[in-house]
Amino acid sequence: MTVKLMHYWTITPSRNDDYAEFITGTFIPGINALGMQTVAGWSVLVGSYSEVIVETVGRDLDQLETALKSNEYRHLKSDLLNYIKNYKTKVLVPLKKEQAYSMDFTEHTVKFNQVWDIITRKQGDFKNYRQFVTSEFYPVLEEIGVKIAEEWEVLIGEGPRTICEGRVKDVQSLISGLQGVKFRKAKEKLKSYVENYESRILSFHIIRHQYGSSDQYQIVDD
């Protein structure tokens, strides 16, 4: 079962140049050497949250726990704090355990991530929520060009507890879809099943390039 370790931070402005060298030359290679795979880094284009979100994936929770307990991870985190502030992490597990998670992106990919807490005040609430998002809400997202990569549960870290990870080919098509009547009506109906709804549009901050069996990472200029 794929698990995610998400890193969140804000870059210290005075260390911006040194930050880029450290992230691509030390931090990401160090994380990958612990058995985690750095997927990409993202800047929050629209929506309030941390300036930078870096996503890494692992094979399972045991592998992640081993990595987090290692001296190597502690040293990487300590060094990272010289370049950034407001560091925090989240551990995510997929709600749909059978789905394989894809780490493939095109260079024009943007993310449309929605987060919420599922309302479960009485018996049957979760079942009704699951039926709605599966049969109505997610199909609407697919219609407007948002591919659902995964629905995640925040296992460790601050809420909201559910993250719907969506991917889009470009910002223009996404904005057009979000302005449409179908999405606005579906979102309003979603709010009868969830609370603490938020959404964010993310663009690349760090992009991964594959060269044969090796990966290289590049900071994307703002």
Is 167 a residue whose pLDDT tops 90? Answer: yes
Question: How many CA atoms within 13 Å lie on the side-chain side of 50?
Answer: 21
Extents of the domains making up the chain: 3-96+203-219, 110-201
Q: What is the pLDDT of residues 115-160, one digit of tens each?
A: 999 999 999 999 999 999 999 999 999 999 999 999 999 999 998 9
CATH topology of domain 3-96+203-219: Alpha-Beta Plaits (3.30.70)
Does domain 110-201 fall into CATH 3.30.70.100? yes
- Retrieve residue 213's tokens: 């069996």
Please tell me if the domain spanning 3-96+203-219 has the same topology as the one spanning 110-201: yes
Residue 84, sorted as left (phi over 0), alpha (psi -120 to 50) or beta, turns out to be: beta
What are the tens digits of pLDDT across the range 19-59? 999 999 999 999 999 999 999 999 998 887 789 999 999 99
What is the residue-averaged pLDDT of the chain?
92
Q: How far is CA 95 from CA 21, 28, 175, in A?
A: 36, 27, 27
Q: What is the pTM of this model?
A: 0.91
